[in-house]
Amino acid sequence: MFNDTEFFINAFLQAPKGMALVSIEGSLIKANQMFCKLLGYEQAELDGMSLRELMDPSDFNYERHQLEQLLAGSNSIYEAEQGWIDKQGRSIRIQQAVSIGGSGERLFYIFQLQLAVSLQEKSLTPRDLEGVLTKQALPDEQKFLEAELGQYRTRLRQILSVANIGTSLVDLKGNIMEADEVLQQMFGYTEQQLKEKTFYEITHPDDVHLNQTLYEELIAGKRDNYHLEKRYIRSDGHVIWGDLTVCINRQESPTITAMIKDITERKQLENHLQESEERFRMIAEYVSDVISIRDHEGRYTYLSAASYPLLGYREDELLGQSAIQFIHPEDRDSFLKEYDTLMKTGQVLSTYRFCKKDGNYFWVESKLRVFHQVNNEIKIIAISRDITRHKKREQELQETQRLWQQLSTIDGVTEIYNRRHFDETIRREWSRCRRNGHPISLVLLDIDFFKDYNDTYGHLKGDVCLKLVAQTIKRTVQRQGDQVFRYGGEEFAALLPETDERGANEVAERMRLAIMQSKISHRKSPISPYVTISVGYATSSQKAKLDIQQLMLQADQALYLAKNQGRNKVSGMF
């Protein structure tokens, strides 16, 4: 139901053991919550710290030797009990396992830590995670990972099952790819029967249009999720109500996850409440949701018994008061807009923060509905529930997605955008400039004699040189919208939308001079005692309409020409 990428991001961030990624130089790259908890640090405090600062000095030399053995390939995994220094300066004994992760020039250490106690049940080891990160797991490791993934899915299904929430995986056309047992029981179909249907086929005809509109907005990227209460038709023809939450995973093969809770009983309750206010009052006292009645101006005339312990107010402190005064100031405008929708359509679902008597806010989801009494007086029924935990999980998921997106677009060595992000950006910016009739320029540059630099100073110093060059040329790009990328190896690219040949030449020359002024020592360079770059650029304009491939080819040819002219030169093709 969940793809492997999602699983292993969660496996790292939420693992029951301390997990950390450490650079080959010994600097901490990323640590999960359990790692922070073991050593008593906040995440921000660990940023930039080194192993030397975190490990017991008496164990550090041995640790360094073992890591060098790992890097040399003498061992595939290193396990030991070592001393680590917590935030209070105390040495604590830690059972650790370390392996190498990454591939090519981007290697790092994977640490897994737990308190040195009796041997515990094995979960996800660094060697397993290494197989995932490099996408080259051995057969035995692959079997272990598949088993671990299966156990994770089972645990998650058990949690959702207890909550009576059915889950399914849907493709972009609405075809059901997977459906769990809760969903099968809810609709009265087997999983195979559901796979032969789309969600539209089991949706009540009156609800298809609204669901389809939201679904199309999701696919088009206008929203990342949506929530909807709608009717479904079971296999036996009975109509049930479902509380539907849909979210999309925008990876290389996008999939959609739908979670449905049967709320038929709740909907029936709402209908009964409309029939009689007295009957409504009798039922409201026995449900856990907060149920309130408001007049047409939004003043409370009734609140169920569940309201007072949750909100902390006395009855006389709420009755007669306007609901808007308890809503967080940042949420009031959106609530008032939803209130206008309520008056026009008769019902609305609203999410906002509500202030308790102690001054603390919590998240509320309210289903509001208008009903008219016999004397035509307007009343509003609101059924509200605390969704603070749901919001917190949603925010954590968004943060995880943001971090994953950052990891997928930033080059680990130079800390600028990578080639993958370049390929996506040039297509978007080229199309925009072509559509608006604006020029676009591409600058390619290469570090002169970089192989000699690596041979002289070593690959670690080479990585430092790459980062210095990347950050220097990044500083020379001054306009918003201009971006710098690591194009490959020692080659970099700068994309300059709405920039003509003259502007591209100015930027290219500024980059060349900036690198010379940095005075990065290069004693093996035959043309300078310092690192230099060769730069080529090309421009697509109204006069020379180049497609993307032609633009890249001409920039590459210009770079080749700059090298043939003796290097440390700028050359353009236009």
Q: Summarize pLDDT for 501-515 with one digit per residue, the tens.
A: 999 999 999 999 999
CATH code of the region 4-143: 3.30.450.20
pLDDT in the model for residue 528: 94
Q: How far is residue 375's CA from residue 372's CA, in Å, rounded to a whole number?
A: 8
- Cα→Cα distances 232→187, 347, 369, Å: 8, 20, 21
Q: How far is residue 140's CA from residue 143's CA, in Å, rounded to a whole number?
A: 5
Q: Are strands 18-23 and 106-115 parallel, antiparallel or unpaired?
A: antiparallel
If phi > 0 it is left, if psi is from -120 to 50 it is alpha, else beta; for residue 481 that is left
Q: What is the mean pLDDT of residues 169-193?
A: 88
pLDDT over 60 at 144, yes or no: no
What element of type H or E holds 256? strand 255-262
Strand order in the sheet with 18-23: 28-31, 18-23, 106-115, 91-103, 77-85
Q: Are strands 533-540 and 570-573 parallel, antiparallel or unpaired?
A: parallel
Q: How far is residue 227's CA from residue 193's CA, in Å, rounded to a whole number?
A: 25
Q: How confident is the model at residue 43 (pLDDT cuts 50, 70, 90)?
A: confident
pLDDT in the model for residue 408: 77
AA identity, residue 333: D
Q: What is the mean pLDDT of residues 390-404?
A: 78
Long-range pairs for 434-438: beta carbons < 8 A, 24 or more residues apart: 434/540, 434/545, 437/542, 438/497, 438/498
pLDDT over 70 at 375, yes or no: no
The better pLDDT of the pair 171, 464 is held by 464
Please state the φ and ψ torsions of residue 276, each to the nearest 5 degrees. -155, 125
- Cα→Cα distances 567→13, 388, 469, 548, 563, Å: 46, 61, 16, 26, 4
Average pLDDT for the chain:
83
**Residues above pLDDT 70, as percent of the chain:** 84
pLDDT over 60 at 151, yes or no: no
Q: Which residues have CB under 8 Å from 296's CB, separation 6+?
A: 377, 378, 379, 380
CATH of 410-573, one of 3.40.1370.10, 3.30.565.10, 3.30.70.270, 3.40.30.10: 3.30.70.270
pLDDT over 60 at 143, yes or no: no
Q: How far is residue 10's CA from residue 560's CA, in Å, rounded to a whole number?
A: 45
Q: Which residues have CB under 8 Å from 379's CB, separation 6+?
A: 277, 293, 294, 295, 296, 301, 370, 371, 372, 373
pLDDT over 90 at 574, yes or no: no
pLDDT in the model for residue 118: 37
Q: How far is residue 71's CA from residue 102's CA, in Å, rounded to a whole number?
A: 12
Domain with CATH 3.30.70.270 in the chain: 410-573
CATH code of the region 267-390: 3.30.450.20
The better pLDDT of the pair 236, 306 is held by 236
Q: Which of 429, 563, 539 minimizes the C-alpha distance to 485?
A: 429
Radius of gyration of the chain (CA): 30
Domain with CATH 3.30.450.20 in the chain: 4-143, 163-262, 267-390
Q: How confident is the model at residue 234 (pLDDT cuts 50, 70, 90)?
A: very high
pLDDT over 70 at 570, yes or no: yes
CATH code of the region 163-262: 3.30.450.20
Q: What is the mean pLDDT of residues 350-374?
A: 86
